[in-house]
Chains A and B, each alone.
Chain A
């Protein structure tokens, strides 16, 4: 396997008495599509927020893109892209203005921004929508745009938090094609999802139950291990024992 880009050991996050993430450890390698699965409330988002430098771990250690999650949150932020489940582009800005804004936030110069912005729009076949307000776009388009913008500064890792929630199957398919393209280009993708067909597309999958990682392997081997026909069955076998509901 290639170089490790995320390495986590015994990472824990407590909110008062509640342990949202309990002692998780795993590694993610460069160029992987790492599926991060779990039922609602299993602690996926909390774990992901710690990796992105949005939340301090209570204990444990970890590095993301070579930086410490405890102390170097701001350095991590320079090297990752992030797209959250809540739609996160500015609705009252146009497509072009959003691209310019996020490129500028990562310190890209005007020239580089202009070049990448043209490329990005051409790739998405969005060139005619440059001056459309984002709020006028259909949800699926917005998600594709948000993903493309999350990679505008060519980050080493892109975190996707339920990126395809509420998106139609065709657009979902296109979205995954974009993910594959990015991964082939060497970008590591860390993605949470509730769609088990999407889990099948991942290089490796981890399944969280009650704040702990209960399974971690390639989809094929997980299915063998649990003697299941699909990832959906694997997930249900694990999630059945969950103590924490929605």
Chain B
């Protein structure tokens, strides 16, 4: 026990004496949480919409007024001339044209009406597709509301509104869990690996290897400080999410903590394994950067996994952050319980065991 205590103490002293790391550890989560959610947005504002209203009914007017009221859409004009709107689309002053067919309201009351058509300028693919979705939702809202007033339950059964769990389509809320994960990857993945390889470069690890220190004691003493820092960062991030963005976990905080614990174990085990195979700082930085890029781009942190090609979706099953992204987002935004997420927990737990065994097996005191 005594060797472990002195080793752990050494790590904390080293960390405290470092001129740079303690500052980084405090600033990184705060800066990321305060700035990134505002900058990294995939939601689209100021989508210019023109309505070609051939119906001129109460329904069509209602749709127009809903579009006008939308936070994301700006109504450029309601006209009866399709060609005029099309000209705007070509010139770029209009992003989306909504055409409400003649007799839409009347037909809807009796049978299936001719469909409302939405024409989008998809040169900017994100704006085009997101804008279209907003328009569809706005129209759906209008119709549901209208239908409910006339005869309840008639239309609401036909039209369902998406985005149930992030009702305002608030992009910062969607981003916050992802940012937390990025912080864990950096603090609990990158830093311990650097710390071990630094000892290799300086030569102090030789002094440890020639002593009777148990490799588990040494490894654990390297990791514990970063686990502590990881949890500190989680709490800072949760406080900022609450007070700055008004985001409170919809589910249990304990489930979040459990998931975080498993994820931190996984990522630090992974980083140790990588450190065992690297002899220089350049090597480890390059290797870790490579994997971190894959983790960030392919774990559904920024872009949904569902929209990846099939082979890539299969590949993501091998990425531990993928499971944690799922856990953190659904617990935070949707209030999912641990029972519903058990597969993710099992996957993450398995990764934690695999990587830590690998880390212990590949650390050799004697070559």
Known contacts A73-B365, A91-B202, A97-B10: A82-B207 contact under CB 8 Å: yes
Interface residues of B in 328-349 (CB under 8 A from A): none
Q: How far is the CB of A51 from the nearest CB of chain B, in Å? A: 10
Main secondary structure of the interface of A (DSSP, over half): loop
Q: Can you list 25 pairs linking A and B with CB atoms under 8 Å apart?
A: A53-B210, A53-B365, A53-B366, A54-B365, A55-B366, A56-B366, A73-B366, A77-B211, A80-B210, A82-B210, A82-B211, A86-B203, A87-B203, A90-B10, A91-B202, A92-B13, A93-B13, A97-B10, A103-B6, A104-B2, A105-B208, A105-B213, A106-B211, A106-B212, A108-B2
Q: Does B204 touch A at the CB level, under 8 Å?
A: yes
Residues 64-115 (chain B) with a chain A CB within 8 angstroms:
none
The 7 closest A-B pairs by CB, nearest first: A104-B6, A86-B203, A88-B207, A82-B210, A92-B17, A77-B212, A78-B212
B43 within 8 A of A: no
Using an 8 Å CB-CB cutoff, how does the interface string of B189-230 with A read, 1 for contact, 0 for none? Answer: 000000000000011101111111100000000000000000
* Contact pick for B3, options A52, A73, A91, A107, CB 8 Å: A107
Total CB contacts across the A-B interface at under 8 A = 83
Give the complex CA separation of A234 and B10 in angstroms. Answer: 46
Contact with A along B7-31 (1 / 0, CB 8 A): 1011001100110000000000000
In which size bucket is the chain B interface? 20 to 34
- Give the shortest distance, in Å, between A47 (CB) and chain B (any CB): 14
Chain A residues with CB under 8 Å of B17's CB are: 92-93, 133
Smallest Cβ-Cβ distance to B199: which chain A residue: A90
Provide the bound-state CA to CA distance between A246 and B210, in Å: 26
Contact A102 B209 (CB under 8 A): no
Q: How far is the CB of A206 from chain B (nearest CB, A)?
A: 21
Contact A92 B6 (CB under 8 A): no
Q: Is B367 in contact with chain A by the CB < 8 A criterion?
A: yes
Q: Tell me which residues across on chain B come within 8 A of A88, comparing CB atoms.
A: 203-204, 206-207
**A89 interface residue, CB < 8 Å from B?**
yes
Which residues of B does A touch, CB under 8 Å?
2-3, 5-7, 9-10, 13-14, 17-18, 202-204, 206-213, 365-367
Compute how far the CA of A88 lies from the CA of B18 in the bound complex, rounded to whole angstroms.
18
Q: How many Å lie between the Cα of A142 and that of B365 in the bound state?
A: 25
Chain B residues with Cβ below 8 Å from A105 are 3, 6-7, 208, 211-213
The answer for the CA separation of A78 and B211 in the assembled complex, in Å, is 7
Q: Is the CB of A93 within 8 A of B203?
A: no
Closest B residue by C-beta to A133: B17
Query: Is A100's CB within 8 Å of the partner chain B?
Result: yes
Residues B209 and A54 in contact, CB atoms below 8 Å apart = yes
- Assess whether A97 is in contact with B13, with CB atoms less than 8 Å apart: yes
Chain A residues within 8 Å of B3, by CB: 104-107
Q: Does A197 interact with chain B (Cβ within 8 Å)?
A: no
The yes or no answer to A121 lying at the interface (CB within 8 A) is no
In the complex, which residues of chain A have a beta carbon less than 8 angstroms from the beta carbon of B13?
92-93, 97
- In Å, the complex CA distance between A84 and B209 comes to 12
Give A87 to B202 CA distance when docked, in angstroms. 8
Closest B residue, CB atoms, query A98: B10
Task: Provide the residues of chain B in CB contact with A103, threshold 8 Å.
Answer: 6
**How far apart are the CA atoms of A104 and B214 in the complex, in Å?**
13
Chain A residues with Cβ under 8 A from B10's Cβ? Answer: 90, 93, 97, 101
How many whole Å from B28's CB to the nearest CB in chain A?
A: 21
The answer for the CA separation of A56 and B204 in the assembled complex, in Å, is 20
Does A104 contact B206, Cβ atoms closer than 8 Å?
A: no
CB B8 to nearest CB in A, in angstroms, measures: 10
Distance of B205 from chain A, by nearest CB (Å)? 9
Q: Contact at A54–B207, with CB atoms within 8 Å? A: no
Residues on A with beta carbons closer than 8 Å to the beta carbon of B210: 52-54, 77, 80, 82, 84
Please give the distance in Å from B32's CB to the nearest CB on chain A: 27
B207 near A84 with CB under 8 A, answer yes
A53: chain B residues at CB < 8 Å are 210, 365-366
7 more CB-based (< 8 A) A-B contacts, given A54-B365, A74-B212, A107-B3: A53-B210, A54-B206, A89-B207, A92-B18, A104-B6, A104-B7, A105-B7
- Do A86 and B206 contact each other (CB < 8 Å), given the known contacts A56-B367, A92-B13? yes
Q: Does A109 sit at the interface, judged by CB under 8 A?
A: yes
| A187-B213 Cα distance, complex, nearest whole Å | 22
* Cα A74 to Cα B211 with chains together (Å): 8
Given contacts A54-B210, A88-B204, A89-B204, contact A107 B2 (CB under 8 A): yes
CA gap between A92 and B18 in the complex, in Å: 8
The reply to whether B7 and A54 form a contact with Cβ atoms under 8 Å apart is: no
